[in-house]
């Protein structure tokens, strides 16, 4: 069993309300020693912090507003996020970024909420947990506006092209890989390019309850993803990178611990 860190788990999601403790137990039994709970809205970011506070040493949190929720980014919301970031359990700014695939919030609102959260990153010095979908050019332009002022950044749930990957690596950003890799319909290109990610830039995540790996066997009856399935993603990733799963597991955990400034997990 490998000791892993899941850098993106939406554990405040309603689908975990009835059995959250069992989900955490299964995760730890599967070797997922630490999880970073994604805070992605004004409503759920405080819940992510509360969950992290209830499980010290196991859960940490991010605090942010996902581009889908950008319309809720008011001055009051900004103040609330800043108050959350005063807590040590909140280890990164985000989830924030741009999503032009769904466009649930108007693009100008997305750009404004993104910039305001990057300013929180500047002011707190915390690492950034970023989301980008179908918005690469604007994403790069906004990030460039903060050049030299931000801490380390991870583009979570990377699903983009080879060119986008190299743009991110050129900026020294980190890459989060999910079970998207296991989706033969839309993730096949990832299998070709993940070997280009240096070990010290690569982290792994489930994005639970979303993105249940399609290659998981047996397939759970309810299609909910959970952190206990992270080892499956790491096995697939290691195979695509042409390396031993122990190598991928250990390197991704060490990279995540350094990135989020977590105490390193105990060795296997
Ligand atoms: Zn995302």
Span from the CA of 97 to the centroid of ligand 1 (angstroms)? 8
Helix, strand, coil: what percent of the chain each, to 5? 45, 15, 40
Span from the CA of 129 to the centroid of ligand 1 (angstroms)? 9
Residue 140, classed as helix, strand or coil, is helix
Q: Residue 152 — left, alpha, or beta (φ > 0 → left; ψ -120 to 50 → alpha)? A: beta
Q: What is the pTM of this model?
A: 0.96
| Residue pLDDT, tens place only, 207-251 | 999 999 999 999 998 899 999 999 999 999 999 999 999 999 999
| Residue pLDDT, tens place only, 117-174 | 999 999 999 999 999 999 999 999 999 999 999 999 999 999 999 999 999 999 999 9
Span from the CA of 186 to the centroid of ligand 1 (angstroms)? 16
Average pLDDT over residues 177-204: 95
Residues 159, 190: contact at Cβ < 8 Å?
A: yes
Span from the CA of 92 to the centroid of ligand 1 (angstroms)? 14
Span from the CA of 59 to the centroid of ligand 1 (angstroms)? 19
Q: Does residue 177 surpass a pLDDT of 90?
A: yes
- C-alpha span between 200 and 40 (Å, rounded): 26
25 vs 102, residue with greater confidence = 25
Q: Residue 47 has which token pair?
A: 């819940």
Residue 150, classed as helix, strand or coil, is coil
Average pLDDT over residues 70-74: 97
- C-alpha span between 177 and 66 (Å, rounded): 18
Beta bridge partners of 175: 155, 202
Residue 175: how many other CB atoms lie within 10 Å:
23
Cα distances from 54 to residues 21, 89, 109, 122, 200, in angstroms, run 11, 10, 33, 28, 30
- C-alpha span between 236 and 191 (Å, rounded): 9
Span from the CA of 216 to the centroid of ligand 1 (angstroms)? 21
Beta bridge partners of 35: 6, 59
Q: Does residue 268 surpass a pLDDT of 50?
A: no
Q: How confident is the model at residue 265 (pLDDT cuts 50, 70, 90)?
A: low
Span from the CA of 8 to the centroid of ligand 1 (angstroms)? 9
Span from the CA of 94 to the centroid of ligand 1 (angstroms)? 9
Contact residues for 135 (Cβ-Cβ < 8 A; gap 6+): 97, 98, 99, 100, 110
Span from the CA of 70 to the centroid of ligand 1 (angstroms)? 13
Span from the CA of 105 to the centroid of ligand 1 (angstroms)? 14
Span from the CA of 131 to the centroid of ligand 1 (angstroms)? 5
Span from the CA of 124 to the centroid of ligand 1 (angstroms)? 22
């Amino acid at each position: 069993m490998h000791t892993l860190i899941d850098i993106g788990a939406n554990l405040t999601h309603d689908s975990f309300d009835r059995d959250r403790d069992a989900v955490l137990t299964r995760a730890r039994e599967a070797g997922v020693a630490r999880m970073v709970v994604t805070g992605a809205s004004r409503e759920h970011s405080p819940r992510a912090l509360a969950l992290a506070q209830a499980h010290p040493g196991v859960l940490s949190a991010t605090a942010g507003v996902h581009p889908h929720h950008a319309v809720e980014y008011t001055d009051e919301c900004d103040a609330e996020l800043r108050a959350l970031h005063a807590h040590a359990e909140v280890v990164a700014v985000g989830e924030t970024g741009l999503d032009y695939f769904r466009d649930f919030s108007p693009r100008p609102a997305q750009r404004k909420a993104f910039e305001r959260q990057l300013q929180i990153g500047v002011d707190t010095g915390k690492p950034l947990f970023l989301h980008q979908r179908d918005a690469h050019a604007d994403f790069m332009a906004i990030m460039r506006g903060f050049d030299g002022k931000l801490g380390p950044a991870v583009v979570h749930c990377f699903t983009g092209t080879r060119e986008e990957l190299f743009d991110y690596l050129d900026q020294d950003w980190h890459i989060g890989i999910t079970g998207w890799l296991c989706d033969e319909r839309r993730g096949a290109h990832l299998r070709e390019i993940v070997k280009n990610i240096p070990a010290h830039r690569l982290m792994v995540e489930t994005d639970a309850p979303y993105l249940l790996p399609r290659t998981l066997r047996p397939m759970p009856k309810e299609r909910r993803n959970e952190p206990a399935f992270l080892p499956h993603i790491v096995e697939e990733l290691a195979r695509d990178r042409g390396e031993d799963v122990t190598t991928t597991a250990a390197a991704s955990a060490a990279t995540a611990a350094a990135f989020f400034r977590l105490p390193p997990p105990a060795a296997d």
